[in-house]
């Protein structure tokens, strides 16, 4: 049973009541302009209107999320039902962004923009009311035949379609017993296709409505477009116009001290606007009388802070109603000014270090890392940092290019970072920085395209040199000392926590002092664990064996930390600690049978995707600051570029995190996306995580209450959190430009960005031997080395 919270018009950020706020924006002279587009048979969302003045932002408030600017992310219900315009970005949240769902993207038919599909297409649609429903859509069939609808895996019905030059309105009824509350899986299957523009296509979809089945003899209502335009109601504002009975549902993560702010005006003397704020645990409602002039309102979100909520606006009156300036506000923080940019950058990526191994992230961890702890106390830690992939090559490619794995396409054993990918080192080199890399992982090598833009490039595996932290940090220190009078960018990738685990004895004894005579051998852990992953029946590990394996790994972390501490001390001795921004992160974590396996590169659980991310820049980055929003390690590049005063390239897809540290937060939503090859797609937002598998099955986790991901959720008890993640994930996967993934169709920032050409590296026996020595064993290398 959901609890009910009383929603009241309370004192807002200014200390002014919402009623007072209305009085402060008098607009007695204007009237709501009638929509320029009348209801018609072919509804289309209007293009964004020219920018109109916003309502005055309350003092002490900052915009957390501009919902009206993201109106294409809202579920729009015209009086007929849930309306989906397949010629706009609004469709992406119902089609998983076209990923594996059968949709073939946009095209033009009969003067309108449509989406087409071949034999089958899938949709994921929310349902709240019980009763029989129907799918009604305007479409152009390319071939005569049957069109069958399946709802949640069961046949709902079929209809015959005939090939025609124009569009037809098609209706398929859905029985009540096939539907469930929350998300419903819909599959459309055509029995015939035809070749169209080089592909087999069956249907061109213009729009679709999921609506209650009308009573016998009742004519279906004509769906109307959602109009976003300039509305004059005493002053001109950009607004969404809702006709009577229409509603908009936005989904947002409510911030601490959050306030929902909006303006409303009616086309007649007055109209009733219902505003509901609902999470999966609580719901509240307020009815407001909108008049001909703008009335500005603020509603507290304090009762749902930190939760995913649905913000619903319903026009319950008899007149058209305009919504303007729909924003979620937060309390503005004091902004730290930057008098001078950072002079230098050091990025340390500790290979195979999951966040939960550090006490800074998981207090129960036994692993001691005094150097990292000191850096945390002197800088800023991001509590919910995600890696874009679960193994080294694609993850590091994302860190060094600020591109998502689906963009740089460096995702497989033989994949090579394309030469056309712009690396962070190239940007700094062009700006006159000295650039140096010290890399102890064979996948991040010249063989795979990572040698671009470096004045000094070292890969210890390829050069068959000592990969221990003592050597890597020592050489990095020497280079920095030699180049300390120049501005520099240094990238260090250490590998000590990676298999084979073999810490010095003093560090092993920190976690395992008892005698051990079992099967685990330090330098052969990579071979043993890889075999145990592929053939779990071959190795039966005792509890003592498992203790030993994890103690070896933990010892490597503490060993590494000892030399990281010496490196930081050296920076101080060289006088570089105050003007150098230091970043610490990892490419992925490591599993110790939390979900039945070992190592990494096989799953998308948090022991692999949850990584540390921390920054130290004394005097600018606040000390001992913890940032809660979800971020990605592909945001590192834009962050250090902004910190050093270097322009962020348009090619980069991440965003700078410096605003979080300065108090000038970027606008929400705060989510991160991860992949596992082409088999998994992951989104994390707040405490929630959604995994979509290649077969389109899904699973959710509530990380706030299930840290170790033991309870799989199907979304039925968490429909609002599920809808939030589905919406943003679909928008991202369907975005033509992932650097501007929130943009709507027609927005110039959302124009299609050409993808990078995939490049391959020929795998040789020599290269495979180097990778195997590191613990990487692939089918391709297995075959090469067995011949």
3-71+224-331 and 80-212, same CATH topology: yes
| 693 exposure class (CB count in 10 Å sphere: 0-12, 13-18, 19+) | middle
The mean pLDDT of 451-470, rounded to a whole number, is 96
Higher per-residue confidence, 2 vs 410: 410
Contact 651, 699 (CB under 8 A): no
Confidence at 633, pLDDT banded by 50, 70, 90: very high
Report the topology of domain 344-670. Answer: Alkaline Phosphatase, subunit A (3.40.720)
| pLDDT at residue number 28 | 28
What crossing angle do the helices spanning 525-534 and 543-573 adopt, rounded to 10°? 130
| pLDDT at residue number 23 | 28
Residue range 676-726, pLDDT digits in tens = 988 999 999 999 999 999 999 999 999 999 999 999 999 999 999 999 999
For the chain, helix, strand, coil in percent to 5 are 25, 30, 45
CA distances from 452 to 31, 348, 420, 428, 435 (A): 60, 18, 10, 11, 10
Contact 376, 360 (CB under 8 A): yes
The mean pLDDT of 249-255, rounded to a whole number, is 98
The mean pLDDT of 514-528, rounded to a whole number, is 91
Which residue has 């709802």 as its token pair?
151
Higher per-residue confidence, 18 vs 441: 441
Contact 652, 635 (CB under 8 A): no
Contact 21, 288 (CB under 8 A): no
Give the span between the Cα atoms of 224 and 85, in whole angstroms: 11
The mean pLDDT of 339-348, rounded to a whole number, is 97
| 41 exposure class (CB count in 10 Å sphere: 0-12, 13-18, 19+) | exposed
| 522 exposure class (CB count in 10 Å sphere: 0-12, 13-18, 19+) | middle
Contact 238, 263 (CB under 8 A): no
Q: Which of 137, 144, 147 is nearest to 162 (CA)?
A: 144
In the predicted structure, residue 479 carries a pLDDT above the cut 90: yes
Residue range 62-99, pLDDT digits in tens = 999 999 999 999 999 998 899 999 999 999 999 999 99
Domain layout of the chain by residue ranges: 3-71+224-331, 80-212, 344-670, 679-744
| pLDDT at residue number 474 | 98
| 38 exposure class (CB count in 10 Å sphere: 0-12, 13-18, 19+) | exposed
Mean pLDDT over each residue of the chain, to the nearest integer: 89
Give the span between the Cα atoms of 304 and 686, in whole angstroms: 13
Which residue has 């709507």 as its token pair?
744
- 569 contacts: CB under 8 Å, gap ≥ 6: none
Residue range 358-401, pLDDT digits in tens = 999 999 999 999 999 999 999 999 999 999 999 999 999 999 99
Q: Domain 3-71+224-331 has what CATH class?
A: mainly beta
Which tokens hold the place of 388? 């874009």
| pLDDT at residue number 44 | 40
Confidence at 785, pLDDT banded by 50, 70, 90: low
Q: Which of 670, 536, 27, 640 is nearest to 324 (CA)?
A: 27
Length of the chain: 787
| pLDDT at residue number 39 | 37
Angle made by CA atoms 108, 409, 93, in degrees to the nearest 5: 45
Residue range 143-182, pLDDT digits in tens = 999 999 999 999 999 999 998 789 999 999 999 999 999 9
Give the span between the Cα atoms of 140 and 163, in whole angstroms: 8
Give the span between the Cα atoms of 159 and 147, in whole angstroms: 5
Give the span between the Cα atoms of 207 and 223, in whole angstroms: 9
> How many other C-beta atoms are found inside a 10 Å radius of the C-beta of residue 766?
11
Confidence at 223, pLDDT banded by 50, 70, 90: confident
Which residue has 């998994």 as its token pair?
680
| pLDDT at residue number 221 | 79
In the predicted structure, residue 500 carries a pLDDT above the cut 80: yes
Q: Which of 294, 292, 328 is nearest to 25 (CA)?
A: 294
The mean pLDDT of 191-201, rounded to a whole number, is 95
Which residue has 């303007």 as its token pair?
324
Helix (H) or strand (E) run with residue 546 in it: helix 543-573
Helix (H, G, I), strand (E, B) or coil at 581: strand
In the predicted structure, residue 5 carries a pLDDT above the cut 50: no
136: left (phi over 0), alpha (psi -120 to 50) or beta: beta
Question: What superfamily would CATH give domain 80-212?
Answer: Galactose-binding domain-like (2.60.120.260)
Higher per-residue confidence, 220 vs 403: 403
The mean pLDDT of 13-27, rounded to a whole number, is 29
Q: Percentage of the chain with pLDDT > 70?
A: 90
Give the span between the Cα atoms of 540 and 533, in whole angstroms: 11
| pLDDT at residue number 787 | 63
| pLDDT at residue number 269 | 84
Q: How far apart are the first and last CA of the chain?
A: 64
Give strand pairing partners of 209.
83, 136
Confidence at 305, pLDDT banded by 50, 70, 90: very high
In the predicted structure, residue 3 carries a pLDDT above the cut 60: no
Give the span between the Cα atoms of 490 and 436, in whole angstroms: 5
Confidence at 245, pLDDT banded by 50, 70, 90: very high
In the predicted structure, residue 468 carries a pLDDT above the cut 60: yes
Q: Which of 510, 443, 483 is nearest to 770 (CA)?
A: 443
In the predicted structure, residue 329 carries a pLDDT above the cut 90: yes
**Please, where are the H alpha helices in 412-504?**
424-430, 469-482
300 phi, psi to nearest 5 deg: -70, 140
Which residue has 């407001």 as its token pair?
288
Pick the CATH number of 679-744 from 3.10.310.10, 2.40.50.100, 3.30.1120.10, 1.10.150.50: 3.30.1120.10
In the predicted structure, residue 779 carries a pLDDT above the cut 80: no
Helix (H, G, I), strand (E, B) or coil at 439: strand
Window from 547-551, 595-599, 655-659 with minimum mean pLDDT? 595-599
Angle made by CA atoms 759, 760, 766, in degrees to the nearest 5: 145
Helix (H) or strand (E) run with residue 660 in it: helix 658-662
In the predicted structure, residue 11 carries a pLDDT above the cut 60: no
Q: Percentage of the chain with pLDDT > 90?
A: 79
């Amino acid at each position: 049973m959901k609890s009910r919270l009383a929603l009241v018009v309370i004192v807002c950020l200014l200390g002014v009541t919402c009623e007072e706020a209305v009085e402060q924006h008098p607009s007695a002279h204007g009237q709501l302009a009638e929509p320029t587009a009348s209801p018609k048979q072919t509804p289309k969302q209007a293009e964004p209107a020219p920018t109109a003045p916003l309502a005055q932002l309350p003092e002490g408030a900052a915009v957390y999320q501009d919902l009206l600017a993201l109106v294409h992310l809202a579920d729009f219900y015209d009086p007929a039902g849930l309306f989906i315009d397949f010629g706009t970005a609004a469709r992406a949240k119902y089609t998983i962004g076209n990923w594996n769902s059968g949709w073939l993207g946009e095209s033009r038919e009969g003067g309108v923009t449509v989406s087409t599909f071949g034999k089958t297409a899938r949709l994921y649609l929310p349902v709240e009311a019980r009763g029989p429903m129907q799918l009604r859509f305007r479409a152009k069939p390319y071939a005569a035949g049957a069109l069958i609808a399946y709802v949640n895996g069961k046949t709902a019905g079929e209809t015959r379609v005939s090939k025609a030059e124009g569009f037809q309105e098609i209706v398929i009824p859905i029985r009540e017993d096939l539907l469930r509350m929350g998300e419903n899986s819909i599959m459309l299957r055509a029995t015939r296709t035809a070749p169209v523009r080089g592909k087999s296509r069956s249907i061109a979809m213009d729009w679709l409505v999921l609506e209650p089945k009308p009573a016998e003899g009742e004519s279906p209502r004509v769906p109307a477009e959602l109009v976003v335009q300039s509305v004059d109601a005493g002053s001109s504002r950009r607004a969404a116009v809702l006709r009577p009975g229409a509603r908009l549902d936005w989904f947002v993560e409510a911030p601490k001290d959050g306030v929902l702010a909006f303006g409303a005006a009616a086309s007649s003397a007055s109209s009733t606007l219902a505003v509901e704020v609902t999470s999966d645990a609580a719901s509240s409602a307020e009815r407001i009388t909108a008049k001909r002039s703008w009335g500005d309102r603020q509603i507290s979100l304090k009762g749902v802070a930190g939760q995913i909520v649905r913000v619903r606006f319903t026009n319950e009156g008899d007149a058209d109603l305009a919504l303007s300036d729909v924003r979620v506000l937060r309390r503005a923080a004091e902004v730290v000014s930057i008098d001078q940019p950072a002079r230098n950058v050091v990025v340390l990526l500790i290979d195979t270090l999951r966040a939960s191994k550090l006490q800074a992230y998981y207090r129960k961890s036994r692993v001691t890392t005094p150097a990292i702890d000191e850096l945390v106390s002197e800088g800023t830690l991001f509590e919910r940092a995600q890696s874009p992939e679960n193994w080294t090559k694609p993850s590091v490619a994302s860190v060094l290019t600020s591109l998502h794995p689906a963009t740089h396409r460096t995702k497989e054993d033989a994949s090579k970072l394309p030469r056309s990918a712009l690396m962070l080192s190239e940007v700094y080199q062009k700006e006159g920085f000295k650039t140096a890399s010290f890399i102890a992982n064979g996948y991040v090598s010249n063989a795979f395209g990572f040698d671009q833009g470096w004045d000094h490039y070292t890969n210890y595996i390829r050069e068959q040199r000592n990969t221990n932290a003592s050597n890597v940090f020592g050489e990095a220190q020497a280079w920095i000392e030699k180049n300390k009078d120049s501005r520099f960018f240094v990238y260090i990738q250490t590998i000590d926590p990676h298999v084979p685990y073999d810490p010095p004895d003093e560090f092993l004894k920190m976690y395992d002092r008892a005698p051990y005579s079992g099967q685990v051998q330090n330098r052969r852990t990579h071979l043993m664990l890889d075999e145990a992953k592929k053939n779990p029946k071959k190795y039966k590990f005792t509890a003592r064996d498992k203790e030993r394996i994890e103690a070896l790994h933990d010892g490597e972390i503490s060993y590494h930390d000892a030399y990281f501490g010496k490196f930081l001390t050296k920076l101080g001795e060289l006088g570089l600690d105050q003007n150098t921004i230091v970043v610490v992160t990892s490419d992925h974590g490591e599993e110790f049978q939390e979900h039945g396996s070992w190592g990494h590169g096989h799953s998308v659980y948090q022991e692999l995707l949850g990584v540390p991310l921390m920054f130290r820049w004394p005097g600018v980055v606040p000390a001992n600051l913890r940032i809660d929003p979800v971020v990605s390690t592909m945001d590192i590049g834009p962050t250090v570029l902004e910190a050093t005063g270097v322009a962020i390239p348009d090619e980069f897809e991440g965003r700078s995190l410096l605003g979080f540290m300065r108090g000038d937060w970027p606008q929400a939503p705060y989510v991160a996306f991860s992949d596992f090859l082409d088999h998994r797609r992951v989104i994390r937002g707040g405490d929630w995580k959604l995994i979509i598998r290649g077969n389109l099955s899904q699973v959710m986790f509530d990380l706030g209450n299930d840290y170790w991901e033991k309870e799989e959720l199907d979304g039925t008890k968490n429909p609002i959190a599920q809808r939030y993640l589905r919406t943003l994930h679909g928008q991202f996967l369907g975005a033509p430009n992932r650097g501007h993934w929130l943009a709507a169709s027609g927005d110039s920032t959302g124009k299609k960005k050409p993808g990078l050409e995939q490049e391959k590296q020929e795998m040789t026996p020599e290269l495979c031997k180097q990778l195997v020595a590191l613990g990487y064993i692939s089918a391709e290398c297995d075959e090469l080395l067995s011949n």
